[in-house]
Amino acid sequence: MIWRKLGNVYCPAKDGRYTHAMFPEVDCLDEGTGRIRVYYTHRDSRNYGFPTFLDAELVGERFTIIYNHHEPIMGKGDIGNFDDSGANITSLVKVGGKRRFYYYGWNLGVTVPFRNSIGVAEAGSDDKDVHLTRLFPGPILDRAARFPGLCATPCVIRVGDVYRMYFTQGLPWIINEGKPNVACHIAYAESQDGLVWHRADAPAVENLPTDHVLTTPFVMMHHGVYKMWYSYRGSKYRIGYAESIDGKMFRRKDTEVGITVSASGWDSEMVCYPKVFKLNGTYYMIYCGNDYARTGFGLAVMDA
């Protein structure tokens, strides 16, 4: 496949209140007008990440921002809870006339910098209802007896009557120059209701010797094949690609991803956090750039 870049469509102001525009998630609101909503994560002066959104029109290759909310649409978790230090939305599923958001929360650590767990929130069907309500104060997926590492960046899809989740699962931390660095692969879990999850023992996508972090999976079914895009990191993030027939075990095909860093500019050092969506018969990829999305996000269109 080949992804042709359309450019940087949103970057936070350098002198603004908030930095970064991470983990974009697209909701296509009106195909007739090309109206979409992009949920994403800002960071504030304390480096606290919170979900917000912008509305835009995407017509062909023209992306026009109509409204940017900037402010949080979900507050912090209560002190001591799994999301008291930040919350990042990474997946949206329509369930029973409502919008269900899967996110991961942050706790600051002592021996390691942070711990992540996965939570769920909902909003009504009306897109004017922008504020999210947690379904539970605690996580729906967390560390467990056989899985002692973190859980983060969920992607949830519904196939028939089964919910499938692809997420970052922590491995033993590695020490680099005397400091702990996170290590993780992409794991798989199933659910009948999207709330109670049973995870598989085997990873969906494994690490290679050249990368210690696999994260932000996005999965869609295309021509009978489960296709996954994700971020992988050795020194700097790149976008990877994998395929599966059963939707549980994936084969990495990173050389076929069709997108990488640019020679210069906003995504010249890093490309990461990809999501693919279809609008008016065209497939687009929304993804983030340098410095973990301090330069915001851009679009690419599938040419082949």
Residue 106: enclosing H or E segment and its boundaries?
strand 98-108
CATH number, position 270: 2.115.10.20
Rounded CA-CA distance 286/51 in Å is 17
- Total domains, the chain: 1
DSSP 207: -
Average pLDDT of the chain, as a whole number? 95
pLDDT tens per residue, range 99-128: 999 999 999 999 999 999 999 999 987 778
The reported pTM is 0.96
Per-residue b or e along 106-119, where b marks 16 or more CB atoms closer than 10 Å to that residue's CB? bbeeeeeeebbbbb
Q: Which domain holds residue 116?
A: 3-302
pLDDT tens per residue, range 75-106: 889 999 999 999 999 999 999 889 999 999 99
Rounded CA-CA distance 88/102 in Å is 9
pLDDT tens per residue, range 270-289: 999 999 999 999 999 999 99
